[in-house]
Structure 1
Amino acid sequence: MAQRVLYPDHIEPLVQFVEETTPEHIVARAHDKLAAGTSVKDMLLASALAVVRSSDLPPGHHGGPLHPLAGLHAVRHIAARLPGEYAMLPVIQNVAVANKHIHSPAMGPYVLADAKPVSENGDVEATVKAFRTAVSRGVYNACDHYFHYLLEHLSPPQVLELLLEVGVPKNQLDDHYFLFPVFTWRALEYFGWEYTKYIGRAPVRYITRPTAPAMLVDVDALIRKYELLERDLRVKTDEDETAAVTRLADEIGRCDDFAEIPEMLAQALSDGLSLEGVGEGLSVGGSTLFLRSQTGNPMDVHINTGANTRRYLLRQPELSRRIKLQALLMWNTGPEVRMAQRMLAPDVQPEPDRVAFLPSHTQAELLAELEALIDRLPVGERLPAAGLASWRSTDEVKQASALAQQYANCGYSPEPLITVLGKIACRDNFTEMHAFKHHQATYEEFHTTRPSLRWRHLVAAVQAAAISHGRIQDVYDHAAEVMHF
């Protein structure tokens, strides 16, 4: 008979703490553990292992281990940046959502069984072929067993490439088929690859379950049309590409039909722009589109997280050029990216006139006004009855982005603004880690984008913070009772 998977002795008790603590006590007790000296790394590892072992993936992508795992990369970095006791809050938020899913009747009771490696006659190539066949049939249990064997014989990037062969085409069905394995791998870089055999099982089982067919016909045709596998593509970008990156970013940002974007990217590569330069142009153009979007749905963050994860992949030397190109050219196909197209303002945002008419502010005044504006948005009263896809942003959201643009135009220091935005993101538990992921993505994009373009990311981060603030923040409210903010 199958047995429950067991974890190494040093972490098993903390995993059981996350699993067994009741939801009404998890915030205070997680705080107590951290205050008593439990490290952020151990607490997040326990959260990940617990939600993988004791929470099932329901239909769709909301629930189970998906969002708790996908948020880990953001949470650990935000925790490292925030001052004082605030640094505990993102960690507590992750533990709380994992615990919530473990105790949800929609996701359990569930026990992840121990699984053994299975191969095809001890042959790696034959096992890879068998894995692909199992994927084509949606036999995710077989994929799980093959995954264990392949982990023992391939490098982590090689295994990730196999998963991306599945996740990239399925991106057009759901952004998370691509995002989940990439975010999980980024978390495993932190925890250590020895935990892949536990934590990696969740994205494997998610992306290999049966779905509608997903093909790459159009993307592969573009790759052939522009001979992107045959060309000697430049990889690294530099200052000499600033004009070309800016043109590409502006072209994407002005686009009204996202289906045109893959050819823009392919053409730019064909014209000699580097892979990194094209990724940067996509990222900046994506932030421009996010700012044009009038969505009020705080889950609609994958314009930025999708560009950020693709730029991460472009930096991985072991991944093939083919998978990098396919991932890059599929950015626009995710349903949560396409959703923004239906709510685009006709012109670039924030509106220049709105920014110009703002009274002048010092840096401190702008920070205070931004924070006060977002704080004034009513907590717990911003949950329209209509479906998420129909939510539209309020004028206060656009005012916040205008103030952020003034902050950028004045050349004020980014770090204080980033800290304020990090604190705001950490209040949210409605989006189940989306606010955290967007904040970290825009932080990384700001720091990996050339100075002339980087501020679009932080202005987008302000807009996202204003959209997500105040939906549901009961974890923050509970934490505030035991912490000293």
Structure 2
Amino acid sequence: MFQPVQFRPDVEARVRWVEETDPAEIVEATYRELARGTPALDLLTASTLAVVRSTELPPQHHGGPLHPVCGVHAVHHVAKRLPGETGFLPTIQHVALANNHVHSPQMGPYLMPAIEPLEGAPGEIGSYHISDAELTEGMSEHAQRATSGIEATKGAFHKSLRALAAPAAEHYYLWLLERLSPGEALDQLLPLAIARNGLDDHNFLFPVYSARALDCIGWTCADVVMRPPVRYQARRASRLIRNDYDFNAIEALLDEFRLLERDIPEHGHPGETERIGELGLAMGRSKNYLDNIEPLARALADGLSLEGAGEALSVGAAAAYISTSYGNPMDSHLHTGTNNRRYLLRMPGVSRRNRILGLLTGFTGPEVLLAERLLNWDVNLDGDVTRSLPDRDQTSLLDALVESIEGQPWLDWRKIGVALTVAPDSVKETVALARQYAEKGYDPEAYIERLGEIACRDDFTEMHALKHFQAIADEYYTTRAPYRWLHMAAAAKSAAIIHLGKEHRIYDEAKELLAA
């Protein structure tokens, strides 16, 4: 008999509070909860579980649980970074977004059913319209032959995703979650996630960010939180934009450069610094992002470590981002994609094949490729943009930077369409101020804290501003000193672009409560 997913009583009460509070009251109600001492993590857990349990997964990547779950890592870490009650802002934004989605007729009403973990075997799954050869493509011979146990259930899960049998896939995945490490469980989702990255960036981002959400709220929630990413994969993959993405050609590079046979070092070392910079900046300057795939494969074959390749990808992502006038406020995917690929390099249980293919697909997502047509801001990367700026002390320069961000002209995103938005030249001034701050060696903590608060203002992009900010902050601290300025400049550009639309209703309401 059907039963909805339920949680232990204390968690259930908080989840229902998120689900049932009137959206007109949710901002103040969340502030009151935080002010009376309810831990931010408890509310973040509740809003995550609520949006997973009580919203439908739409046929595209906006709405439902996808972006709220992808935002958990950022919300958790930005909330800890910001001082005092300012640290309430990320949690308020997340709870409000989850509550909005639960109450939206575009995503509900919906209740996730409770299901049982099931052991399976490949022979149990078939399709009238998809050949068995297609269903078993990429499956290990061991899994294909197995009739019981972990390998057999991996095979059943593999085939159920490709047979578009989402309910069966969920049953099998819950069984595997009880028996595999987090990294091994995530690895079962990565073959399709990586292969389909060039069709929609969220094929990759959703499962990996879901794992990172569980790192924050606890893997005890995995049997609920990981079900939407499973369903997301068990459906027909659509290509968001027409491009030349060819995953088979990327896979062929594994054989061409013998990347799975070579003893590629896992960890980076100081001797790689110059090579990382050369490769990263070359990728950032490329006018055709898909041309970045082979140089990265060649660098690994020539001895660059996996960590070094990930860092080069990070440098390239930041350099490319500041080199384009693309003004989409959701243009976060180069940084978030890179940040999640580097996460996989650190996660035990993820296969070397998936780690390498993850790196090679870093510049292939359609949301990434949309920026390629506006690579006309090379001056931000290679120009002497700080020469004409007045000399300022740290406080004055940071104030000038924020004034530049807040002074951006208003653009009507809803009328223009975010994918057609071009950033005004005034954003280049913001980037120049950020570069000057970095060149002067001023305190990065003060800079990151100030821009972290600005990232909390956006309530238009379903957490893209917060995700972008946190990915940049993560990348700043895991990038070598000579190239860190690129991430500081990227953070400033992102903040300025978020201010173009000035959609800050939730932030404005929350700030009044904080000031009272």
Shorter chain as denominator, the TM-score bin is over 0.9
Aligned residue in 1 for 2:120 = 120
Partner residue, 2:425 = 395
Report the RMSD for the aligned CA atoms in angstroms: 1.5
Give 1:258's aligned residue.
289
Q: CA shift at 1:9, angstroms? A: 1.6
The 5-angstrom pairing of residues 161-200 of structure 1 reads 161-200=187-226
1:439 to 469, 479, 483: 469
Partner residue of 2:251 out of 217, 220, 232: 220
Summarize deviations over 1:211-245 as a string: whole Å, max 9, x none: 25997311111111110000010111111111111
Contact 1:400–1:466 under 8 Å retained in 2: yes
Per-residue deviation, 1:195: 0.7
Secondary structure of 1:234 counterpart: coil
Are the equivalent residues in 2 in contact too, given 1:71–1:433 (CA < 8 A)?
yes
Task: Confirm or deny: 8 A CA contact 2:257 2:297 kept in the other structure.
Answer: yes
Cα offset for 1:102?
0.4
SS for the counterpart of 2:2 is: coil
The alpha-carbon deviation at position 209 of structure 1 amounts to: 2.0
Which residue in the other structure is 1:68 paired with?
Answer: 68
Letter of the 1:63 partner, please give it.
Answer: G
- Counterpart-to-counterpart distance in 2, 1:87 and 1:469: 20
2:79–2:91 contact (8 Å) kept in structure 1: yes
Q: Please state how far the C-alpha of 1:49 moved relative to its aligned partner.
A: 0.5
* Residue 351 of structure 1: how far off its partner (Å): 5.7
| Amino acid in the other structure paired with 2:284 | G
Q: Give the C-alpha shift of residue 51 in structure 1.
A: 0.4
2:236 pairs with one of 184, 195, 210: 210
Mapped to 2, the partners of 1:17 and 1:212 lie a distance apart of 36
Question: In structure 2, what is the Cα distance between the partners aligned to 1:475 and 1:270?
Answer: 49
1:410 aligns with 2:467: no
**2:330 aligned to 287, 295, 299, which one?**
299
1:276 to 307, 310, 313: 307
Query: Which one of 455, 461, 484 corresponds to residue 454 of structure 1?
Result: 484
The amino acid across from 1:432 in the alignment is E
Question: Are residues 85 and 259 of structure 1, via their aligned partners in 2, closer, same or farther at CA, if it must alter by over 3 Å?
Answer: same
Amino acid at match of 2:511: A
Cα offset, 1:260, TM superposition = 1.0
**Which of 374, 383, 398 is the equivalent residue of 2:413?**
383
TM-score by length of 1: 0.97
2:221 alignment partner AA: Y
1:286 — aligned with what?
Answer: 317
**Residue 11 of structure 1: SS of its match in structure 2?**
helix
Tell me how far apart the structure 1 counterparts of residues 294 and 408 of structure 2 sit (CA, whole Å): 40
* Residue pair 2:200, 2:238 contacting (<8 A) in 1 also: no
Q: Kindly provide the CA deviation profile for residues 50-106 of structure 1, in whole angstroms up to 9, marking residues without a partner as x.
A: 001111111210000011110000001000010111100000000010001000000
* 2:510 paired residue among 467, 479, 484: 479
Q: Aligned pair 1:134/2:160, yes or no?
A: yes
Q: Is the CA contact (8 Å cut-off) linking 2:181 and 2:349 kept in structure 1?
A: no
Can you list the C-alpha shifts for 1:152-196, whole angstroms capped at 9, x where unaligned? 121111110001112111111110110011111111112221110
Structure 1 residue 18: deviation in Å?
Answer: 0.2
Residue 468 of structure 1: how far off its partner (Å): 0.8
Question: Offset of 1:483 from its aligned partner?
Answer: 1.2
Query: In the TM superposition, what is the alpha-carbon distance from 1:316 to its structure 2 partner?
Result: 1.8
Q: Verify the 8 A CA contact 2:182 2:349 in the aligned structure 1.
A: no
Query: Structure 2: where are the runs of 5+ without partners?
Result: 122-147, 240-244
Q: Is the 8 A contact 2:169 2:234 kept in 1?
A: yes
Which residue of structure 1 lines up, in the alignment, with residue 21 of structure 2?
21
Say which is worse superposed, 240-249 or 11-20, in terms of deviation.
240-249
Match of residue 391 from structure 2: 360
Offset at 1:36?
A: 1.0
Q: CA 1:254–1:377 in 2, change beyond 3 Å: closer, same or farther? A: closer
**Aligned residues between the structures:** 484
Paired position in structure 1 for 2:264: 233
Residue 82 of structure 1 corresponds to which residue in structure 2? 82
Task: Provide closer, same or farther for how the CA distance between residues 363 and 382 of structure 1 changes in structure 2, counting only shifts above 3 A.
Answer: farther
Amino acid aligned to 1:275: L
User: How far, CA to CA, are the matches of 1:376 and 1:347 in structure 2?
Assistant: 23
Q: Which stretches of structure 1, 4 residues or more, deviate above 6 A after TM superposition?
A: none
**Aligned residue number for residue 11 of structure 2:** 11
